[in-house]
Chain A
Amino acid sequence: MGRFFDLHVNFDWKDFSLEGYSKVFYPNVITGGNRYDPARINIARVGNQDKPLPQKYDLIHFAGFNVDGDRLALVREKGRAVEVCVSNIKDALYAGRIHQVRFFCDALRTYKVPFVFTSGASAIYEVKSPKEIAFIGEMLGFTQRAVLDSMSETASEILGDKGWL
């Protein structure tokens, strides 16, 4: 069994091993500036079309799933990864906008953009195990293997040496 990382949770809870994670991260969130802390993972939260991409970040989080293909191509050119957040998928599902998520995931596959599934949880009961996230990814057209790899191999590449600080 490989190592699994959740790169984005918003609360402090120590024992994530019960959910199957090796480590979780509480990231810095960049909102357009160039703040960069090398010890932590940095997630750039940007709008769909308005703002340019920040200079330094590890993951990019789009504020909504209605994203241009050109934006995704740009992310691909920069060699960065896109965050697909399960809590946002839940919100979209409840709001009847699951089709936007599917189009977004189709675009990720079309443009071959690296992606990472994260829970984005703000409470214990919002944390999903890697297996459960793989089921959710399957609903969006990914294979379970691809989703598990995103939380294992892609996340390890992003973390580099940070993974076991």
Chain B
Amino acid sequence: MVIKKSLRTRFRYIKFRLLSAHPFHGDFEGKLRAHINMLLGLSHAPSIKLLSFDSEGNGLLRCDSASFTEVRQAMLFFYDKDYRIKLLKSSGTIKSLFSN
């Protein structure tokens, strides 16, 4: 059986930037996780991990490749009048996110 390379890749990495009117205080990962769980439902809450998030709002998120589409959609709807996430790039490897 031939398995595609994309299916063999376990994780998917999403580079994003939080655009915000004010510095974002509090537990950003917790807020994002709560938001994703609320939208997707706790029954199939995907496992996500915030690998980095700096004071300028640049962040890197890791999720299972199986739930990548759902997580991306949830991130697209993480917005309000004062902040939003801008998706920059996604890839199966961290290295390719930061090349060129």
Provide the residues of chain A in CB contact with B72, threshold 8 Å. 135
Interface residues as binary, A103-131 with B (CB distance below 8 Å gives 1, 0 otherwise): 00000000000000000001101101101
Q: Which of A93, A125, A128, A136 contacts B81 (CB 8 A)?
A: A125
User: Hey, which chain A residues are within 8 Å of B84, CB to CB?
Assistant: 125-126
Is A74 positioned at the interface, with any CB of B under 8 Å from its CB? no
Q: Which of A125, A131, A135, A139 contacts B79 (CB 8 A)?
A: A125
Complex Cα distance, B79 from A122, in Å, reads: 12
Interface residue from A125, A128, A131, A139 paired with B73 (Cβ < 8 Å): A139
Interface of B is mostly: mixed
B-side interface size class: 10 to 19
Whether the pair A135, B82 counts as a contact (CB closer than 8 A) is no
Interface residues of B in 74-92 (CB under 8 A from A): 76-77, 79-84, 86-87
Q: Assess whether B80 is in contact with A135, with CB atoms less than 8 Å apart.
A: no
Number of inter-chain CB pairs below 8 Å? 33
Using CB atoms, name the residue of chain A closest to B74: A93
With a cutoff of 8 Å between Cβ atoms, the chain B residues found around residue A126 in the complex are: 79, 81, 84
CB of A132 within 8 A of CB of B82, answer no
How many A residues, CB 8 Å from partner?
14
CB-CB under 8 A for A125 and B80, given A93-B39, A132-B87: yes
**B73 near A136: Cβ-Cβ < 8 Å:** yes
Interface residues as binary, B55-99 with A (CB distance below 8 Å gives 1, 0 otherwise): 000000000000001001100110111111011000000000000
Interface residue ranges of A110-165 to B (CB < 8 Å): 122-123, 125-126, 128-129, 131-132, 135-136, 138-139
B45 contacts chain A at the CB level, 8 A cutoff = no
Q: Other than A125-B21, A125-B81, give 17 A-B pairs with Cβ distance below 8 A.
A: A90-B77, A122-B81, A123-B81, A125-B19, A125-B20, A125-B83, A125-B84, A126-B79, A126-B84, A131-B87, A132-B76, A132-B87, A135-B72, A135-B73, A135-B76, A135-B87, A139-B69
List 18 contacting pairs A-B, 8 Å CB cutoff, sorted by A: A90-B77, A93-B77, A123-B81, A125-B20, A125-B21, A125-B80, A125-B82, A125-B83, A126-B79, A126-B81, A129-B86, A132-B76, A132-B86, A135-B72, A135-B76, A136-B73, A136-B76, A139-B73
